[in-house]
A and B are shown apart, each in its own frame.
Chain A
Amino acid sequence: MTRNVTRARTLYLRTLLVCGVFQLRMLLQYKFYVIAVFVQPLAFALIQFVMVGHRDDADALANVAVQAGLMGMWTSTLFGSGGGLSRERRFGTLEPVVVAPTPLAVNILAISLATALMGVISMGVTLLLGGLVFDTPMMPERPGVFAAALAVAVLANACLGFLMANAFILYRNSLVLTNLLEYPVWVLAGLMVPAAFLPQWCRPLSEGLSMTWAGRALGHAMSGTGEPGREILWCAVTGLVCLAVALVFLRTVHDAVRRRATLNLI
């Protein structure tokens, strides 16, 4: 029994990775999406570099690059997950995916993971901009910790995208949510302005977001200060909470779409 469960989990993990690679390949063929993933963080990073450039503070500039990269990662996940599911609806592939015996969660998570991985491009772009254009050292003080924080940030982002994907499955018009959720998360996660500037009542919301912890961990790994280990842990925990909630919610969503017959409606 235990062996069967372990075998099934290994198979699901493999399916997740293979389907994730296919989804990533499909995403890379949408040129406008790829351009958005490149250009948007570049624009934000440029504005912020100009704003803080006069301070001659290398740590602040490095932090700007990281925050702008994370903004791009969130945009990629948000629009990628929503757009990915809209595409599945438009192509009519949601039905055959649901009819397959692998849980729907694996396929949706594969889409979210692919879109979050695209966010790594954003991070790379903003770090390159800082290094090449603004002549700021963009090598992390703790490269291993930075890599670990980035990996956890991608996974946590994918979990958050997965949670939102439930709404995209249930409500075909929920793509409008993507426009509503972009800026609030940037603000709450302290990517546009430091979270310390937020009103007191916003703080619990801010601390509940994995992006907040990812931003702090990556910033500290860049500057070699603080406790990035603890922040990576919190990033992972908040991501796992999203994953757990999404898995529970997806069962309800799965039954709801079977009841409402909305799976193939565009």
Chain B
Amino acid sequence: MAAVEVEDLTRTYTTGASKFRFRRNGRTDRQAVKGVSFDIGEGELFGLLGPNGAGKSTTIKILSTLLLPTSGRATVMGYDVVSRPTEIRRRIGYVAGGDKGLYERLSARDNLRYFAELHGITGRTQRLRLAQLLETVDLADRADDRVEGFSRGMRQRLHIARGLLNEPSVLFLDEPTIGLDPEASRDLRSTIGTLTGQGTTVLLTTHYMYEADELCDRIAVIAQGRLVALDTPGALKKGVGDRTVATVEVRDASAAVLDDVRALPGVLDLTVTSTPTSHVLEVQCEDTASLIPDLLRILGPGLITRVDTREPTLEDAYVALVAQPAATAGASL
């Protein structure tokens, strides 16, 4: 049995609706999820990637029973998200990223205790689990401090501890490492790896490609509410195997020059990262060998400080997938 099954799922948000049914002025329907289907096996670590507003969080919220789907079907551990929410809630953990979601005027321990009670975890089991989780997320020494004084990273770690309170069969992690420092992120990735090793199914959304690449068994890429790719990280990278990436650092590059680079034959995508003293151009192309002389000519050899080439990463694959029109991208499934 798959831990999570999603079949032709759609979700439409209605905004600005008139309170009076006979007046429909200003009512806007926005389809956030459009016919998404996938399965997640037990113990699998499944990544859901996509730009902001792609429908990742909506999908997670439907699976964690916070939202109802508009159409389609979804089950978690065999239970339907519409008709059996309580059964699902007993078996899942939900961790949303960000500052919110905690009782500011309670301590970290009391926050966990509150939610432990809501999960029916009491007595000695509760005490032991709280101590263990506070240790796991490195908050044991701040356990009795009020949450209102916590940094974003500490709050995020507390979110994670709360998500693990009921030892869930399926853990939904919605951008869990947002706001964490590199060391804490690495520790969390290690914790997630341990959990899947113990048989926990994890559905992870993230904007950090290296994180998805390192952790996920399979990745689904969502763009504009549609699933545009679903495969292992390796296979997704191979999907852009006909590309290479040239990285060029220049001291100066005007908008007109960048347009000229984009217009070069064989250039598939260009991203520019600017610092006060330089610009780093990442040019995805079919063949760097034939492109580099043209790049040198356009950018001006005197302004270039570094040139190198590399094989495509998951980020390159992701950029290629979300950049192409959703209608044609379906073919990559």
Binding site for B on A (CB under 8 A): 11, 14-15, 18-19, 22, 25-26, 29, 91-93, 95-103, 106-107, 255, 258-261, 263
Name which residue of chain A comes closest to B99, CB basis: A92
Give me 18 other A-B pairs in contact (C-beta within 8 A), A15-B120, A19-B118, A93-B103 excluded. Answer: A11-B122, A19-B117, A22-B103, A22-B106, A25-B106, A26-B105, A91-B100, A92-B100, A95-B66, A96-B101, A99-B65, A99-B89, A100-B89, A102-B118, A103-B86, A255-B68, A258-B65, A260-B14
Q: Are A14 and B122 in contact (CB under 8 A)?
A: yes
Among A11, A15, A97: residue with most chain B CB under 10 A: A15
- The complex places the Cα of A94 from the Cα of B30 at a distance, in Å, of 24
Q: Is the CB of B13 within 8 A of A15?
A: no
A27 to chain B, nearest CB (A): 10
Given contacts A255-B68, A258-B65, A263-B66, contact A100 B96 (CB under 8 A): no
Q: Evaluate contact between B68 and A259: CB separation under 8 angstroms.
A: yes
Q: In the docked arrangement, what's the CA distance between A166 and B114, Å?
A: 21
- Given A102-B118, A107-B118, A259-B68, the answer on whether A22 and B94 have CB atoms closer than 8 Å is no
- A260–B17 CA distance with the chains assembled, in angstroms: 11
Contacts of A91 on B, CB cut-off 8 Å? 100-104
Indicate which residue in B67, B110, B120 contacts A258 across the interface (CB closer than 8 Å). B67
Contact residues in A for B66 (Cβ distance below 8 Å): 95, 98-99, 258, 263
B162 beta carbon closer than 8 Å to chain A: yes
Provide the residues of chain B in CB contact with A92, threshold 8 Å. Answer: 96, 98, 100-102
Residue of A nearest to B91 (CB): A101
Give the shortest distance, in Å, between B295 (CB) and chain A (any CB).
47
Say whether A102 contacts B103, CB under 8 Å.
no
Interface bits B112-123 vs A (CB < 8 Å: 1, else 0): 011101111010
Q: By the criterion CB–CB under 8 Å, are A26 and B106 in contact?
A: yes
Q: CA separation between A258 and B58, bound complex, in Å?
A: 11
For the A-B complex, the count of residue pairs with Cβ-Cβ distances under 8 Å equals 85
Q: Which of B89, B98, B105, B117 contacts A15 (CB 8 A)?
A: B117
Dominant secondary structure of chain A at its interface with chain B = helix
* A contact residues around B119 at 8 Å (CB): 100-102
- Report yes or no: B67 in contact with A95, Cβ–Cβ below 8 A: no
Q: Is B92 an interface residue (CB 8 A)?
A: yes
| Contact B101–A93 (Cβ < 8 Å) | yes
Given A99-B64, A101-B86, A101-B90: A22 in contact with B110 (beta carbons within 8 A): yes
Cross-chain contact A22 with B114 (CB below 8 angstroms) = yes
Whether B86 contacts A96 by the Cβ 8 Å rule is no
Interchain residue pairs with CB less than 8 A apart (26): A14-B122, A15-B117, A18-B114, A18-B117, A19-B114, A22-B113, A91-B101, A91-B104, A92-B96, A92-B98, A93-B100, A95-B94, A96-B115, A99-B64, A99-B89, A100-B118, A101-B86, A101-B90, A102-B118, A103-B86, A107-B118, A255-B68, A258-B66, A259-B67, A259-B68, A261-B67
Within the complex, what minimum Cβ distance (angstroms) separates B77 from chain A? 13
A99 in contact with B101 (CB, 8 Å): no
Q: Once the chains are docked, how many angstroms separate the CA of A95 from the CA of B90?
A: 15
Interface string of B53-86 (1 = CB under 8 A from A): 0000000010011111000000000000000001
Q: Which residues of B contact A260 (CB under 8 A)?
A: 14
B118 touching A14 by the CB < 8 A rule?
A: no
CB distance from B120 to the nearest CB of A (A): 5
Measured CB to CB, the closest approach of chain B to A101, in angstroms, equals 4
Q: How big is chain B's contact interface, by range?
A: 20 to 34
In the bound complex, residues from chain B placing their C-beta under 8 Å from that of A14 are 117, 122
Instruction: Give me the 10 closest cross-chain CB pairs, A-B, nearest first.
Output: A92-B100, A100-B118, A101-B89, A92-B101, A258-B68, A102-B118, A101-B90, A99-B94, A15-B117, A18-B117
B118, A101: Cβ atoms closer than 8 Å: yes
Q: Of the candidates A96, A101, A103, A259, which one forms a contact with B162 in the assembled complex, judged by CB atoms under 8 Å apart? A: A96
Interface centre among B13, B100, B166 (most CB of A within 10 A): B100
**A18 cross-chain contacts in B, Cβ below 8 A:** 113-114, 117
CB proximity of A165 to chain B, nearest CB, Å = 16
Residues of A within 8 A of B115 (CB): 96, 100
Closest chain A residue, CB of each to CB of B15 = A261
The residue in chain B whose Cβ has the minimal distance to the Cβ of A26 is: B105
Shortest Cβ distance from B13 into A: residue = A261
- In the bound assembly, the distance between CA atoms of A14 and B122 in angstroms comes to 9
Task: Report yes or no: B101 in contact with A95, Cβ–Cβ below 8 A.
Answer: yes
Query: Which residues of chain A are near B90, meaning CB under 8 Å?
Result: 101
Cβ of B61: which chain A residues have Cβ within 8 Å of it?
A: 261
B108 smallest CB distance to A (angstroms):
13
A15, B115: Cα distance in complex, Å: 10
Q: Provide the bound-state CA to CA distance between A101 and B90, in Å.
A: 5
Task: A157 to B234: give the CA distance in the assembly, Å.
Answer: 61
A255 shortest CB reach to chain B, Å: 7
Q: Which residue of A lies closest to B122 (CB)?
A: A14
Q: Give B181-229 interface residues, CB cut-off 8 Å to A.
A: none
Q: Please measure, in the bound complex, the distance between the C-alpha atom of A44 and the C-alpha atom of B100, giving whole angstroms.
A: 39
Complex CA–CA separation, A11 to B102 (angstroms)? 23
Known: A95-B96, A96-B101. A11 touches B13 (CB 8 A): no
Interfacial chain B residues near A99, Cβ < 8 Å: 64-66, 89, 92, 94
Q: How far is the CA of A97 from the CA of B111 in the complex (A)?
A: 11
Complex CA–CA separation, A19 to B102 (angstroms): 14
Residue in A92, A259, A261 with the greatest tally of chain B CB atoms within 10 Å? A261
